[in-house]
Amino acid sequence: MAKSKTIRVTPNVKKSLEELKAAVKSMPAGDLKKRAEGAIDYLSNTFKGGPQPGGGQICPTDKLIIK
């Protein structure tokens, strides 16, 4: 693991998130869409500098993206 806990959000990373958001909008309703939306919310929060569960050291089992 890198010494720095800073995540560098480049224009390519931002564009990738926007593409994922667009793809999820076209998905049919269901569990997969709900989990994908949870993953996008998690990434968006992380990109904004929001705190990560467990300081980013553990998988957030109480979140939508981990099953």
Q: Does any domain span residue 7?
A: no
Residue 42: domain span:
12-49+58-67
SS3 30: coil
Tell me whether residue 39 is in a domain.
yes
Model pLDDT for residues 1-32, shown as the tens digit of each residue: 456 667 788 899 899 999 999 999 999 999 99
* pLDDT tens readout for residues 29-62: 999 999 899 889 888 988 888 877 666 666 666 6
**Count of domains observed in the chain:** 1
Q: Is residue 41 a part of any domain in this protein?
A: yes
CA distances from 52 to 21, 44, 47, 63 (A): 20, 11, 11, 11
Instruction: Report, in angstroms and rounded to the nearest whole number, the Rg of the chain calculated over CA atoms.
Output: 13
- 0.85 surpassed by pTM: no
